[in-house]
Structure formats: structure tokens, C-alpha cells
Amino acid sequence: MGLRATDLTVGQQFETVVVDDLKRTQIVQYAGASGDFNPLHSDEVYAREIAGYPGVFAHGMLTMGMTARALTDLLGDGRLLRFGVRFTAQVWPGDTLTVRTTVDGVSDEDGVPVVELSVVTTNQDGTDVVSGYAAARLDA
Amino acid sequence: MAAERFPVEAGHVMTFARAVGDPNPIYADTEHAAASELGAVIAPPTFAIASAQFDPDYPLRPTPGQEWYGSGGGPGLTRDGAGGLHAEQHFIYHRPLRVGDVLSVHTRSGEPWEKSGRSGRLLFTEQITEFRDQDGELVVTMRSVGVQREAAS
């Protein structure tokens, strides 16, 4: 079951915490599942001594994947039409991420009601880590 | 450098959903999914990126018998061309990916572009990947943008 256009108003906002105190283990899980074994994300020694970072950090795609969960929880399963983000800051172990979704508008695409959304994920300091957009099919 | 054939497998979808912290049963529970309006287990929205698992030449995975640049006895190796970061990622969904789909994958490079940043020139590259199903229908279009800082001269 999804949302209807009448459930939404322009400017309406939704907020979801998608991770509280991100663990290195979850980053390792994501490396294994996605197949992206870049040692920047899973190898603390490499990240510090070779790459010069304070330590490992999350794959951008892990943050995007967690952000997607906030969207599908809100919009229903299998309803996304478009989803895109820019990666604006790194996500570190220990971070708590909140996804804020804003309704930009509801339109009609080939007779199907579609909601357009802005999406911003921020860390516990209020820094944006990803920002982007999504569009999803609504129930008629 | 892409998977030619990307089978959407139940265990892979389940572990991917776990990794992004999503307990939604639509990604793992066959009975729940069969009773839903979708009728089948689907994959989470960003799952297409995991087609890297089926790319025989994916560079961000160690290959037996070949040098890997991560730490072992020593801290690892500086890699030529390293230092690039993921700048943007976009998906267009024509329908959800379903467990059992066998996708064909075609990747092409877009035109590169440049921007002047505070600390020098930034070089952007993009790749557009199309995922088609067993009937040749386009299912997902994915666009990935990478950025690399040009060494100061």
C-alpha cells in the first residue's frame, strides 16, 4: 500500500533516523554485500597510514542505501521512479544520520500521480552528508 | 568493465538489505512478498550497484595471485589513480528488481568535465549503466559521477 496525493501537502516534511552510532561492522557488512572492498572503508591501517584519513569511513553508497530506506518506509515498496544524490561530506563510524524528506510537489505523469521530494541526510552535527531528490508513484 | 550478466539472487538481496539496515520483509520473506501487491521479493533501491559482484574485472576486490593494495604485514600501497571519490549517484527505476531476474548490464562513459574548486581543479567523470531484464526490457538506469582532484602544478 502506498500514499495518496491527498495524504501529502507541499512543504510537508518527514524525518527518520536511519542509523544511530554507525558501527565499523556495518561498513564491513556493506563492503561484503556490495562487493566494494576499497580498503578506505574497511582497513583502518590503510586508511590512516596510506590514504591519510583519520580512519575508515562509510561508502557513499551505504549512506545512499540507508537514505533509501527512509524513502521506501515513507512511500511504500517498489514505488520509486527516480532517486539521486550528491555526496557532500564523509560519514564516519559513530555517526548518527537523520533523513529529512520534503514534499516539493505532486504531479501527473502519464495519468499516474507522482510525488516529487527533496531529500537531505545530516549527521549529528547538522552537516549534510548527502542531498538529492526522489520521485515516487502514488496511489490514484 | 561491467558485469555482463547480473542474476538477482535471494541471499544477495537479503545480505544487501541487512547491510543498509533495512529489516523490511519485502527484501527477504517469500511468503510476505507473495501476499503483497508486488507478489515477489524485490531488491532495495540501490541494489543495482552490487552488480560489481558479477564484474569479473572489478578493481575494488582482491584477486588471488594479484597484488592488493590494502594492509597486510605492511600498511598497504599507494595506488596509481587513487584518491577519486564518489560525487553523485542517480537511479531511474522502470520497475523494481525482483529476485529471479537475470539482468544484462551495459556501461558507457559520459563526457568528462572540470570545475575550479577552492583547492584546485576538480575532474569529473561519469558512467551510465543500463540494466535490462531477461526480456530485454530496461529495468534500471544508473548514473555514477566520480571526482578527482588534479595535482597542483
pLDDT digits (tens, 9 = 90+) for A84-113: 999 999 999 999 999 999 999 999 999 999
Q: What pLDDT score was predicted for residue B150?
A: 78
Partner-chain residue, chosen from B50, B89, B96, that has the shortest CB–CB distance to A85: B89
Chain A interface includes B124 (CB < 8 A): no
* Chain-chain contact of A34 with B85 (C-beta, under 8 angstroms): no
The dihedrals phi and psi of B70, each to the nearest 5 degrees, come to -75, 175
Which residues on adjacent β-strands are paired with residue A133?
Answer: A84, A118
A48/B139 Cα distance (integer angstroms): 40
pTM: 0.95
Angstroms from A33 CA to nearest CA on chain B? 5
In CATH, B5-59+83-149 is 3.10.129.10: yes
For residue A131, is it within any domain?
yes
For position A120, which CATH number holds?
A: 3.10.129.10
Q: Encode chain A (140 residues) as per-residue pLDDT tens digits.
A: 678 888 899 999 999 999 999 999 999 999 999 999 999 999 999 999 999 999 999 999 999 999 999 999 999 999 999 999 999 999 999 999 999 999 999 999 999 999 999 999 999 999 999 999 999 999 98
Q: Which residues of B fall within a CB distance of 8 Å from A70?
A: none
Q: What domain range is A132 assigned to?
A: 5-22+60-137
Task: Report the domain count for chain A.
Answer: 1
Going by C-alpha positions, the residue among A105, A120, A132, A136 that lies closest to residue A12 is A105
Going by C-alpha positions, the residue among B98, B94, B93 that lies closest to residue B6 is B98
- Close Cβ partners of B39 (under 8 Å, ≥ 6 residues apart): B33
The ipTM value here is 0.97
DSSP-assigned letter for residue B53: G
Q: Which residues of A fall within a CB distance of 8 Å from B45?
A: 65, 68, 71-72, 80, 83
Rounded (10°) CA dihedral B21, B24, B30, B35: -170
A47/A54 Cα distance (integer angstroms): 7
